[in-house]
Copies of this chain bind each other. A is one copy, B any other.
Amino acid sequence: MTYCAGILVQDGLVMIADTRTNAGLDDISTFRKLHVFSWPGERHFVLMTAGNLSITQSVVSCLNEGMPNPETGEIETLQNASSMFRAAQLVGRSIRHVRDIDGPALEEARVKFDVSMLFGGQIKGQPMRLFMVYDAGNFIECGIDSPFLQIGEHKYGKPILDRAVTFKTHLYDALKVGLISMDSTMRSNLGVGLPIDLVVIRRDADVIELSHRIEAGEPYFHDLRERWSAALRAAHMAIPRPPYAPAEG
């Protein structure tokens, strides 16, 4: 499994991904699912991937090599895409390209062409944007009302994002809540696990502000998990028992 969350707030973008992959419960590995494409002073993109690893890695390779623009025939890359929208289209086109090549054989082997991606970033002078790209290469954009998108095993970690993140949330509070969301997911699904890759990009900044990997045993994340557990325990213990109980309840 995989869990990735992208949060787009007033001050910037937070991207968080786990690194666990599994081909069956007895075949678990660590693979990077968060990919950074950065040209300091010009443009930064982060791509996070969920689904079949052979497909997602091929898509990343296509993006690195560039894809011909269907109108002009020229090779389009993330470096020369004229807007975030065009860059997201390029991601979608790369997915379709891999499907054209590998799809029929995968179908024959009854392997589902199953992939989804979060793609966010900013081109200098243009708005910062965050997209979720589906396996058909189409995509939706993150809005202000629900300023986050998730892929992979998204349900366990959604309630805290629903409650705690708004567009006005401080950039590093968004990171913190994203890590709580990751923690909830890791506790309920062993297929999601450490290390965790994270990137923070401040809006209109020339460079990527933070690119970090949380390894097992890191003190801050360990402390966050402990505090969150303790706080939840205190929270539900502080709520009175239901009054439906009979007198001796």
Residues on A lying within 8 angstroms of B by beta carbon are 155-156, 158-160, 162-164, 170-173, 175-177, 179-180, 184, 187-188, 198, 200, 209-210, 212, 220, 224, 227-229, 231-236, 238-246, 249
Most interface-central of A184, A231, A239 (chain B CB within 10 A): A239
Instruction: Identify whether the interface residues of A are mostly helix, strand, loop, or mixed.
Output: helix
11 A-B contacts, Cβ less than 8 Å apart? A160-B236, A162-B187, A162-B188, A172-B241, A172-B242, A172-B245, A177-B236, A180-B236, A220-B240, A220-B243, A234-B235
Q: A180-B236, A235-B231, A236-B176 are in contact. Are A210 and B245 (CB under 8 A)?
A: yes
Known: A158-B156, A188-B155, A249-B172. A163 touches B232 (CB 8 A): yes
Q: Are A188 and B235 in contact (CB under 8 A)?
A: no
Cβ contact within 8 Å between B235 and A232: yes
Query: CA separation between A174 and B212, bound complex, in Å?
Result: 39
Q: Which residues of B contact A235 (CB under 8 A)?
A: 227-228, 231-232, 234-235
Q: Is there contact, CB below 8 Å, between B172 and A187? A: no
A163 partner, pick from B159, B163, B187, B210, beta carbons under 8 A: B187
> For A228, what are the chain B residues with a Cβ–Cβ distance below 8 Å?
235-236, 239
Report B-chain residues with C-beta under 8 Å of the C-beta of A156: 155-156, 158-159
Would you call B232 and A179 a contact (CB within 8 A)?
A: no
Which chain B positions have C-beta within 8 A of A224?
Answer: 239
B residues within 8 A CB of A164? 232-233, 236
Of the candidates B177, B229, B242, the one whose C-beta lies within 8 Å of that of A176 is: B242
B residues less than 8 Å from A158 (CB atoms): 156, 188
* Contact (Cβ within 8 A) A232 B160: yes
- List 20 extra interface pairs beyond A155-B155, A163-B232, A198-B244, CB under 8 A: A155-B188, A156-B156, A159-B188, A160-B236, A163-B229, A172-B241, A172-B249, A175-B242, A175-B244, A175-B245, A176-B241, A179-B242, A180-B239, A200-B244, A209-B246, A220-B244, A227-B239, A231-B231, A231-B235, A231-B236
